[in-house]
Structures are given as structure tokens and as C-alpha cells.
Structure 1
Amino acid sequence: MSLPAPLAEIVEDFGALGDSDKVTLLLEFSRELPDLPGHLREDAMEPVPECQSPVFLSVDATDPASVRLYFSAPPEAPTTRGFASILHQGLDGASADDILAVPADFYHDLGLGSAVSPLRLRGMAGMLGRIKSQVRAARSGDRAGGPSLGT
């Protein structure tokens, strides 16, 4: 599997834990999601309708060597915030090529399938798919993005 080093480390950390500890780690990640910078507003970000909770993301791929990711997820949605934080910590600052190389189903390797509902995991897949879509759009010069969610 091709993962940027920070994301590979996160996957390894989850893989070393039992189910209850994985949930605890996911909740720790939820508390680490950074606030949006002052120049971003939710209404200017892309919604992620695959998530059960209202999640918004923005991708700044103007420098393809260091893509910046921004997420907004409510504190009362810790699972969703945890997924957003995993993606932020694992992919923020990665190159466009590295992000596009992440398998669409990498989240299975976190081992959360028995601890988190498939619907919630679908939300994480949606976040990754939209990140990739925005990276592709930036590459092609089309800031509007597209509906593609796969790799």
C-alpha cells in the first residue's frame, strides 16, 4: 500500500490496538482537529454529504509539492472529527502525487470495521474522495472540482 509516512504511521498505530483502544485513539484524534484559519468559512468549503454529520473541507493544492487540507466538523460528532483529523494529520503537507496514490479503501487498514459502522466508514471514504477530486481539479486548473470519488 502506498501511503505518505505520517498516514502510514497512523495506520500502524491503529493496527497495534484492540477495538476499544482504537475507539479511544479515534476520540483522541477528534480532539486534535485544528480550527479553521480565519480566511476560511464553512460556506466557502465543499460539503461531504457521505458523512452522517455536517463536514466541510477545503484543499489548497496551489503548491503540488505541499497540499494543504482544512476541515470543519462539529465537536458533537467525534467519530467524524476523528476521521477528518486522521486525514489532516496523515495528508496535510503531502504532495499531490502522494495524496492521489492513497488507496480509496486505506481506512480498512485502520481496523475500525468492527468498532465503527460501515456508514461512518463511508464518510471517511467520501472525505478522501473529495480531497482527491479537489487535487485533480487543481491540477487541471478547474477549481470547481468534479463528482469523482474514486482513485
Structure 2
Amino acid sequence: MPAKLAEIVDEFASAPREVVLEMLLEFADAVPPLPAGLAGHEGMEQVPECQTAFFLKATVQPDDTVTTWFDCPPEAPTTRAFAGILADGLAGASTAEILAVPGDLYARMGLAQAISPLRIRGGTAILARLKRQVAAQLADYPR
């Protein structure tokens, strides 16, 4: 797992339950705006497991790092926070680092005690779809 993401996981895992939601809300604001080329979610994948409209796109760069883009409405702060965590924690990560992120990431963060199972399921689906996009691009263009 990338060092930055591991640091975020550790911060959440060690935080008192009463501040976890506040920490999540901070990450909801960390999602960068979409570039013009992705306006209207062109070329993005929707994550139907999320209770709200959520879109993502991962692009493997020539240097084997991955650029990620996420879009989720501001009125879904918990789901948007998952995107913020991934955007921040995976920035500059290699394909191998992203594919090595454990599927139970949100459980490791201790979020099951703070948010609903449906939201955990959505966050897990976001990560799984992101990893699937990276794996598919590697299969199409082996390095």
C-alpha cells in the first residue's frame, strides 16, 4: 500500500470514534474538480453499489503511476470522503502499489463502527473498480 494511504489508514484506525466522522468530512473536501475532458462523466465508470451517483476513472501513465479522478455530489459527504481518501492516499502511486491495496481497507480504518454497512460496501466497491481499471489497462498494455 502506498505510504501516504497507509498513514491515512493508521490515523483513522487510532482515532477516537467521536472524531472519525469529522476526519471523514475533511476528506470530502479533498476531491479535486474534474478536468474539462471528463465533464458529463465522459469515459468514467459509474459505481452502482454506491447509494449516490459516483463516477471514477483511473489512467495508467507511461511512468507506471496512476492518475485517478472521482466525482460524487457534495450532498453525499461520506461517499465523497472515500474518494478524497483515495485521491490523497493514492496520489503518485504505482500500479503495483494500487493493486496491493487491501480490499478490506475501510475495515482496517475502523470505519465499520462509525458508518453504515451500505456505505462501507460502496467504498469497497469504489476501490475494487479502481483496481479493476488499473489491472485492465496493464493487461492491454503490459509494461
Residue identity matched to 2:97: D
In the alignment of these two chains, the number of paired residues is 140
Per-residue deviation, 1:64: 5.5
2:21: which partner in 1?
23
List runs of 5+ in structure 2 lacking aligned partners: none
Per-residue deviation, 1:40: 1.3
Alpha-carbon distance change, 64 to 141 in structure 1, aligned in 2, over 3 angstroms: farther
Secondary structure at the aligned position of 1:33 is classed as: coil
CA distance in 1, matches of 2:77, 2:123: 13
- For the 8 Å contact 1:62–1:138, the answer to whether it is kept is no
Secondary structure at the aligned position of 1:58 is classed as: strand
> Which one has a larger percent helix, Structure 1 or Structure 2?
2
- For the 8 Å contact 1:64–1:96, the answer to whether it is kept is no
Task: With the length of structure 2 as denominator, give the TM-score of the two structures.
Answer: 0.93
2:37: which partner in 1?
39
2:111: which partner in 1?
112
Residue identity matched to 1:20: E
Per-residue deviation, 1:121: 0.4
Task: With the length of structure 1 as denominator, give the TM-score of the two structures.
Answer: 0.88
Q: Deviations over 1:8-61 (max 9, x none)?
A: 010111122111201100001001111111221214210001111110001111
Identity across matched positions, percent: 47
List runs of 5+ in structure 1 lacking aligned partners: 143-151
Q: Deviations over 1:74-124 (max 9, x none)?
A: 000000000111011111320001111111112111111111001100111
Higher mean displacement: 83-92 or 68-77: 83-92
Q: Deviations over 1:121-140 (max 9, x none)?
A: 01111011111110011011
Whether 1:125 aligns to 2:130 is no
CA distance in 1, matches of 2:33, 2:19: 25
Aligned structure 1 segments of 4 or more residues deviating by more than 3 angstroms: none
Q: Over the residues paired in the alignment, what is the CA RMSD in angstroms?
A: 1.3
2:57: which partner in 1?
58
